[in-house]
């Protein structure tokens, strides 16, 4: 009866139970049960897909969940001062020509392996670049190491120069690039939700911003184990008569990776 009741409770809570390992009685005593163990809905979902969400509850430039962060002439810190966006990561450059920050996971993702993958990034543009004060923002599937481009990437970019305030989409395979300047404009003081997806065959990649499709690429998508990449964010000063002292903010990065077949 107790086993049946626990199963009923599990169903009411949306948790699948297989067998009963045991339970706590009303007196607080552990009562062993029978069956082969307990399998929750979370366990079942973990077998169907890998889902990783980074909320950037970081307190230094070296740790942000599964991301490893570093900075040169730049500060990287969490902020709780943004209404509706807890634990926002803020990247602020100074005026040095090579000021930059980057956060990245290891290169544990491959494309063209029969599994479609998407990464979603919610981020904030504070000010636009100008002809003299310029900065570059890159994020998505990437592996930034400093001020340069990733060797392998499928990423969104903003390279504001005062005359080209539009989002860009880049696919890079072994440093060979396809880049599109989209018609999706960038505005100051605005939050943007980017979704970057690569199909199961690794033959098509898309950039969607605030639910609007901005670009599709079919060339220079990195595929196979030798072109594996990760998740990355990069914020850096660009060349110009003056250097930027600007900041951008990141609310979250979320990766979805369904398994086929389930693991």
Q: How many domains does the chain have?
A: 2
Q: Closest Cα to residue 102, out of 229, 243, 228, 235?
A: 235
Q: How many residues does the chain have?
A: 263
Q: Are residues 27 and 154 in the same domain?
A: no
Domain extent for 7: 2-39
Could you read off the pLDDT of 137-184 as tens digits, one per residue? 999 999 998 778 999 999 999 987 666 799 999 999 999 999 999 999
Return all residues near 201 (Cβ < 8 A) that are at least 6 apart: 112, 114
The pLDDT value given to residue 60: 58
pLDDT greater at residue 30 or residue 112 = 112
124 assigned to some structural domain: yes
CATH of residue 211's domain is: 2.60.120.200
Tell me if 194 is assigned to some domain: yes
CA distances (Å), origin 154, targets 46, 64, 107, 188: 25, 21, 13, 24
Highest-pLDDT range among 32-41, 74-83, 227-236, 243-252:
227-236
Over range 201-225, report the average pLDDT: 98
Q: 103 and 230: one domain? A: yes
Longest CA–CA separation in the chain, Å: 78
The DSSP line for 27-47 is TS-EEE--SS----HHHHHHH
pLDDT of residue 87: 83
143 inside domain:
yes
Whether pLDDT at 251 is above 60: yes
> Residue 204 has what pLDDT?
98
Residue 58 has a pLDDT of 67
């Amino acid at each position: 009866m107790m086993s049946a009741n626990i199963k009923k409770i599990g169903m009411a809570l949306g948790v699948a139970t297989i067998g009963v390992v045991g339970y706590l009685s009303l007196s607080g005593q552990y009562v062993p049960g029978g069956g082969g163990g307990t399998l929750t809905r979370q366990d079942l979902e973990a077998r169907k897909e890998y889902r990783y969400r980074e909320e950037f509850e970081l307190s230094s430039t070296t740790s942000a969940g599964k991301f490893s962060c570093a900075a040169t002439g730049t500060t990287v810190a969490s902020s709780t001062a943004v209404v509706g966006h807890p634990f926002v990561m803020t990247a602020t450059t100074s005026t040095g020509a090579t000021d930059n920050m980057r956060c990245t996971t290891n290169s544990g993702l491959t494309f063209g392996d029969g599994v479609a993958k998407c990464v979603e990034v919610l981020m904030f543009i504070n000010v636009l670049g100008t002809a003299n004060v310029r900065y570059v923002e890159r994020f998505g599937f990437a592996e930034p190491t400093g001020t340069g481009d990733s060797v392998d990437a499928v990423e969104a970019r903003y390279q504001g120069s005062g005359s080209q305030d539009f989002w860009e989409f880049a696919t890079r395979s072994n440093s060979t690039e396809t880049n599109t300047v989209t018609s999706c404009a960038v505005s100051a003081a605005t939050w943007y939700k980017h979704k970057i997806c690569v199909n199961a065959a690794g033959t098509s990649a898309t950039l969607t911003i605030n639910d609007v499709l901005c670009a599709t690429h079919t060339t220079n998508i990195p595929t196979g184990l030798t072109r594996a990449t990760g998740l990355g964010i990069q914020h850096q000063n660009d060349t110009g008569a003056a250097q930027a002292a600007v900041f951008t903010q990141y609310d979250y990065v979320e990766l979805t990776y369904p398994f086929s077949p389930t693991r």
